[in-house]
Amino acid sequence: MVLVVNFGGQYAHLISRRLRELNIYTEVVSHRSLKSVIAQKNVKALILSGGPASVYDNEEDIKNLDFILNLNIPVLGICYGHQLLAKLVSGDVKRGKGEFGRTEIKILKDDPLFKGWEQKENVWMSHRDYVAELPDIAEVLAVSERDYIAAFKLKNKPIYGVQFHPEVHHTAKGRKLLNNFIEVSGIKKRWKLKDIVEDIINYISRTIEPNAKALAAISGGIDSTVAAVLVKKIIGDRLVPILVDHGLFRKGEVEESIKCLRKIGLEPVVVDARERFLKKLWGTRDCEERRRIIGNTFAEIFSELAEEDSNIKYLVQGTTYPDVIESGHVEKADKIKSHHNVAALPSWLKLKVVEPLKFLYKDEVRRIAKIIGVPNEIISKHPFPGPGFAVRVIGVFTPEKLEISRNASKILEDELRKENLYNNVWQAFAVVGDDTWVGIKGDSRDVGYIVTLRIVVSEDAMTADWYRIPYDVLDRVSRRIVSELDRVTMVTYAISSKPPSTIEPC
């Protein structure tokens, strides 16, 4: 196997998944348990993940990891892992201006790691610290636009560091680099995707006790649907699907979801909780507070249902790894925002949470969905946040702004479908904040809201780039929004990637 050592980076499990795509068996472990895992298992190579910390924040940890250099197996350090390896060999790591998003690097030296790369390539960076200098035992393989060390190798060992992220799809030849590293390691490619499904089925069977019931929180989205279908395969009618209408869904989504779910044998119990959620949300400003309110209210509803049936012991959720990592629920991971189904669930919730997909990414979930017969209407649907439009309204949360965001998003999605562009993008939606813009409607002065359109392309939601939408389509969307929505006078288009931005605004 290859061990991916997790330092709390956004992409630790993405590294693991990229290797699994190459038919390599991987496990993700904490750096604190690394030594004991290596002692017990047949580890053929290590990959050290990125992370939000600086090597200067973890000097004791670094001292305890110097054994890595003497394992006599190939090692690849990525981002923070690159800086860590440099520090372990007494290199100089400094705080710089940082590099974020697409960055060009120049390959200085031929090496098997860069087989198939041109002398100049675009890669994906996300770092502030950088390796400024290395001792004579290391050689620099590549530099970035800022002349930072982008890759190095120890001269006498197959130990490499790369400052960029080869695991994200925005590094065009990143998978080639990871494949090159596997070839350097001499590991045979024997692992298959079906092993993931088998692992999930075994996890569900071990976790849910015989005769106990489980609530499945479903929204009609791909993650919650796949999680519910997999659990139903094991426990049958002991699964109770629940669709809670919190009043924050897309236009017509509840009705469409019920139809799709019935096709695959899931008959959801629909709880109309719109008034209950919205009454608590009106007037709130902070998105984290909204996430907490939504998480608490979901938990209250689930607890009430469990009180009505004492056999309900579990709560099944379609949590995926981006939810977990962004909520800061992995050791050393920074909290970016609380996902309502992870960090926003209250500690008093007595139901045991079952998360069959928590170490998977969206495209992996989609592949599993095809295997188990989930309808294409669900598979192809754009991802939608659990808190819905509560996180697409910036500033004070009001009924007016909620409806503007919902209706503008519907216009955007409709126009993308008309042009057969909907399936080309990861997500498309409209955001509204407190800012206003003076306009002219009907020859009269009008002050209305600014709507920001956000369309991104991505594979897994861990990184994303803005979509180059045809101007005529953008023009048509803009004109429809300002014409059909009375309180809008300006439409803007978001062109920032993730990182440094996130996909959702808050």
The catalytic residue positions are 79, 165, 167
Contact 56, 128 (CB under 8 A): no
And the tokens for 400?
């007016």
Q: What is the dihedral of CA 363, 368, 371, 375, to 10 degrees?
A: -70
Edge-first strand listing for the sheet containing 92-107: 26-30, 2-6, 45-48, 75-78, 159-162, 149-154, 138-144, 92-107, 120-133
Are 165 and 124 a contacting pair, CB within 8 Å? yes
Helix (H) or strand (E) holding 17, with range, is helix 12-21
Q: How far does Cα 97 stand from its chain's mean position?
A: 25
Q: Which of 279, 324, 316 has the alpha carbon at shortest distance from 297?
A: 279
Tokens encoding 159: 């130990």
Residue 387: cis peptide before it, omega within 30 degrees of 0: no
| In contact, 352 and 303? CB cutoff 8 Å | no
> φ, ψ for residue 353 (rounded to 5)?
-85, 130
Residue 68 class from Cβ within 10 Å (0-12 exposed, 13-18 middle, 19+ buried)? buried
